[in-house]
Structure 1
């Protein structure tokens, strides 16, 4: 029997998820962009979601898929765009899996004390804008 103690990392809470949602939406609003924001927990399950009234409907789906992709690969989706191009490391991955992966900037993993605890995805703006909004939200949580 091991006597070593394990120090747990606090999970992503609903309060954390609200902070992520609100920060991303405020950043998007300041840029004049209507977005959808999805937050996943440490199991990759949807913890929080909000779509602005004027955001395009598909933004809800893309925000969730971006968050899921960032979570599964523990990497911002902005860093994966080239990997799915012909000849890229993950070129066949989007069609090889029956999972909602989306290799467009706007998904960012969320870490606490060096451990993956969830992800945020933003959809509705240009990919670079979505990445900026998601990154700002993640930084506000730290």
Structure 2
């Protein structure tokens, strides 16, 4: 008796997010923020949630460094832009208890976006220092530029 054939198409390897990608993302996000006159901090995480690159403008508020990293972490863990998650943590919604239920650095404020390659999650980017929608637009612009 022979085993049934389990031949399937081999999985395509996805190139992980590297330091060159991270520096490009930071430069793109900072350029967008600079054009708007907003001093920011930018954090890039790899797929494992490890900080790959970070930069804070001299004039950015100090907490922007922490918020950018937490936004990136939240976007990575939930594989969604933090802007899309803000309503989900409001009272009566599905993730209402999530911010306090876990001992993790989650932050449900716009400005964190996942980074994908070939539809697979390879990291995330977080921007802090501006208004939430500004931070989101800077992060989104950087990821769009990486995809181009």
Normalised by the length of structure 1, the TM-score is 0.97
> Counterpart of 2:73?
68
Does residue 69 of structure 2 align to residue 99 of structure 1? Answer: no
Which consecutive unaligned segments of at least 5 residues does structure 1 have? none
Deviations 1:76-126, CA, capped at 9 Å, x for gaps: 000000001100110000000000000000000000000000000000000
Does residue 43 of structure 2 align to residue 15 of structure 1? Answer: no
Matched position secondary structure for 2:37: coil
1-structure distance, mates of 2:145, 2:6: 37
Which consecutive unaligned segments of at least 5 residues does structure 2 have? none
> Counterpart of 2:39?
34
Matched position secondary structure for 2:53: strand
CA radius of gyration, larger in: 2
2-structure distance, mates of 1:50, 1:2: 48
Q: CA RMSD in A?
A: 1.1
Count of residue pairs brought into register by the alignment: 142
